[in-house]
């Protein structure tokens, strides 16, 4: 890749200084995608021509001092975010031929800032999964080891950034889908506070949990993308009115006086020893940069997995009811003179949805059904409140909670897919931030002996993305993990 410019900020500055053109840099990335993505499968669709046309338009019209913060910079978008005129599938057969007539707000804000979309990234179907194996278009491979999973569900975005197929990407995170693949691929992933980023044009999975956020090589780049996509949107009533701070300013703070909390009891069981080691090393680095680290408790976090898998599936069963073969693309081919509408629905949905999506629709429908509602859905909502209270209490004495992002490094493709429960358990450290609506970031924290990336996660107070980014940046400055590049 371009020796001098790898990060979004570097590329932006090089284009602004006239050292490279947007056409040069976009072509370079597109060539690399063409050369490498055959073995990674990170992209569902590469918007080659459209990208080069737009890059050329930027190069023609660019004037000195153009203030657009991403002018000419290439970027990729998870395939569950709508892109006008470009297929948007959520990696599902049921949306295989869906071409949205509008852009998601996060996408249109990136483009208004001058970014050039190079393509749509592969993911687990409708964001449901932790390994990318639930994609109708085949799994993504981890660039650090092609027999391993990149994590999920935003595995394509994470793999693409890690392999330098694109300098930054958008993902979505309902229970860890930005942070976990970021950790497994060795990049930065940020899930903003619920309401911070518009979800207009995001194909909904679980509407009380979904957030859109960036995957990048560096913390500064994550700050830059967040700055561009965040903020209120009249098209999404759940966006918060809060002003968006300039996250990229004063990012290089020192950590003296910053208090971090480790939920030790939660970290006691089931963690890979190499993850524990990397985590302890990270804690020492945080201390050496001036932060104080203390023990905290999140007594209800142990219930986060069942609570999440009840609420997320309940919401999904409702959200996915719209895919009925009437309005959107796939429809089962049946003889209309002899079939009922009901049979058309049934056949369309059996053909169009994958196994995991069907499992969740059934689980969620069950949890919501009369007679079970109180025992499952209502109970889960109550425990969700307790999980949020745990965090609020912790934030009385600390500024951020720190824990591993994933209990294991990248696992072998095929290893966990036959056992959904095992797969769900991987989300133990990520789902609580979604349940509590809090911002959380995963940053690279080194490698295992087998040279698989490890991530460390920080969870912050609502709307304190700025604080999280500063803490993450201070850590990043003390190591060069992000500069390590997979050999692909």
Shortest Å, Cβ 27 to ligand GLN: 32
Known catalytic membership, residue 78: yes
Residue 389, classified by CB atoms within 10 Å of its CB into exposed (0-12), middle (13-18) or buried (19+), is middle
For ligand GLN, the binding residue among 156, 167, 175, 195 (CB under 6 A) is 175
Judge contact between 2 and 165, C-beta under 8 A.
no
Residue whose CB is less far from ligand GLN, 308 or 463? 308
For ligand GLN, the binding residue among 162, 177, 405, 442 (CB under 6 A) is 177
Shortest Å, Cβ 378 to ligand GLN: 21
Residue whose CB is less far from ligand GLN, 174 or 348? 174
Shortest Å, Cβ 303 to ligand GLN: 16
For ligand GLN, the binding residue among 73, 113, 128, 212 (CB under 6 A) is 128
DSSP 239-261: S--PPPP-TTTT-----TT-EEE
Under the binding rule (CB under 6 A), the answer on residue 205 touching ligand GLN is yes
**Identified catalytic residue from 153, 162, 317, 442:** 153
If you ran DSSP here, which 8-state letter would residue 268 be given?
S
For ligand GLN, the binding residue among 153, 216, 319, 432 (CB under 6 A) is 153
**Identified catalytic residue from 130, 157, 162, 177:** 177
- Structure token digits, residue 407: 């209990």
For ligand GLN, the binding residue among 145, 149, 157, 174 (CB under 6 A) is 174
Which residue from 276, 287, 307 is spatially nearest to 403, judged by alpha carbons?
276
Which residue from 130, 19, 149 is spatially nearest to 72, judged by alpha carbons?
19
Residue whose CB is less far from ligand GLN, 370 or 421? 421
Residue nearest to ligand GLN (CB): 177
Under the binding rule (CB under 6 A), the answer on residue 427 touching ligand GLN is yes
Residue whose CB is less far from ligand GLN, 72 or 175? 175
In angstroms, the Cα distances linking 199 to 214, 236, 244, 321 are 13, 6, 16, 19
Which residue from 479, 467, 430, 471 is spatially nearest to 172, judged by alpha carbons?
430
For ligand GLN, the binding residue among 72, 155, 176, 181 (CB under 6 A) is 176
Shortest Å, Cβ 363 to ligand GLN: 11
For ligand GLN, the binding residue among 69, 74, 119, 127 (CB under 6 A) is 127
Residues 223-282 touching ligand GLN, rule: CB under 6 A, are none
Residue whose CB is less far from ligand GLN, 303 or 345? 303
Residue whose CB is less far from ligand GLN, 23 or 434? 434
Residue with tokens 């460390």: 456
One symbol per residue from 293 to 322: x for binding ligand GLN (CB under 6 A), - otherwise; what is it? -------------------x----------
Shortest Å, Cβ 304 to ligand GLN: 11
Shortest Å, Cβ 155 to ligand GLN: 11
Dihedral pair phi/psi, residue 325, rounded to 5°? 85, -5
Count of residues in contact with ligand GLN, rule CB under 6 A: 13
By CB under 6 A, which span of 172-180, 268-276, 402-410, 444-452 interacts with ligand GLN? 172-180
- Residue 262 CA to residue 442 CA, distance in Å, equals 15
By CB under 6 A, which span of 109-117, 173-181, 230-238, 363-371 interacts with ligand GLN? 173-181
Residues recognised as catalytic = 78, 153, 177
Task: Catalog residues that contact ligand GLN under the rule CB under 6 A.
Answer: 127-130, 153, 173-177, 205, 312, 427
């Amino acid at each position: 890749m371009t020796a001098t410019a790898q990060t979004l900020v570097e590329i932006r500055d090089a284009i602004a200084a006239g050292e490279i053109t947007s056409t040069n840099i976009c072509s370079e990335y597109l060539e690399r995608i063409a050369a490498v993505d055959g073995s990674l499968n990170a992209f569902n669709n590469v918007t080659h021509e459209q990208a080069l046309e737009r890059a050329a338009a930027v190069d023609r019209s660019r004037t000195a001092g153009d203030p657009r913060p991403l002018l000419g910079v290439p970027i990729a978008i998870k395939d569950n975010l709508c892109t006008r005129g470009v297929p948007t599938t959520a990696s599902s057969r049921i949306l295989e031929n869906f071409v949205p007539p509008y852009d998601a707000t996060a996408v249109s804000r990136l483009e208004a800032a001058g970014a050039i979309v190079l393509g749509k990234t592969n993911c687990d179907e409708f964001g449901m999964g932790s390994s990318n194996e639930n994609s109708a278009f085949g799994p993504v491979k981890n660039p650090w080891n092609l027999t391993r999973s990149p994590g999920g569900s935003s595995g394509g975005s994470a793999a693409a950034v890690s392999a330098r197929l694109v300098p930054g990407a958008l993902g979505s995170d309902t229970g860890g889908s930005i942070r976990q693949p970021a950790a497994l691929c060795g990049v930065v992933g940020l899930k903003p506070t619920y309401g911070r980023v518009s979800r207009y044009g995001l194909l909904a999975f679980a509407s009380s949990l979904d957030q859109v956020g960036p995957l990048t090589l560096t913390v500064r780049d994550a700050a830059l993308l967040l700055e561009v996509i965040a903020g209120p949107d009249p098209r999404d009533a759940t966006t918060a009115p809060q002003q968006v701070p300039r996250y990229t300013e004063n990012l290089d703070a020192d950590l003296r006086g910053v208090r971090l909390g480790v939920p030790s009891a939660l970290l006691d069981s089931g963690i890979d020893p190499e993850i524990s080691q990397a985590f302890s090393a990270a804690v020492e680095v945080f201390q050496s940069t001036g932060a104080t680290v203390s023990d905290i408790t999140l007594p209800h976090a142990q219930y986060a997995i069942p609570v999440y898998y009840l609420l997320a599936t309940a919401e999904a069963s409702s959200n996915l009811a719209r895919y009925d073969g009437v309005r959107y693309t796939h429809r089962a081919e049946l003889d209309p003179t002899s079939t009922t509408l009901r049979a058309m629905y049934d056949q369309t949905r059996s053909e169009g949805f994958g196994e995991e999506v069907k499992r969740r629709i059934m689980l969620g429908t069950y949890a919501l059904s009369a007679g079970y509602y109180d025992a499952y859905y209502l109970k889960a909502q109550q425990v969700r409140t307790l999980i949020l209270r745990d965090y609020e209490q912790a934030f009385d004495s600390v500024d951020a909670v720190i824990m591993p992002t994933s209990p294991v490094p990248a696992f072998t493709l095929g290893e966990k897919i036959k056992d959904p429960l095992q797969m769900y358990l991987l989300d133990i450290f990520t789902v609580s931030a979604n349940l509590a609506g809090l911002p959380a970031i995963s940053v690279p924290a080194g490698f295992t002996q087998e040279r698989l990336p490890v991530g460390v996660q920080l969870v912050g107070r609502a709307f304190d993305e700025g604080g999280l980014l500063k803490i993450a940046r201070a850590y990043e400055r003390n190591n060069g993990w992000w500069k390590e590049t997979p050999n692909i």
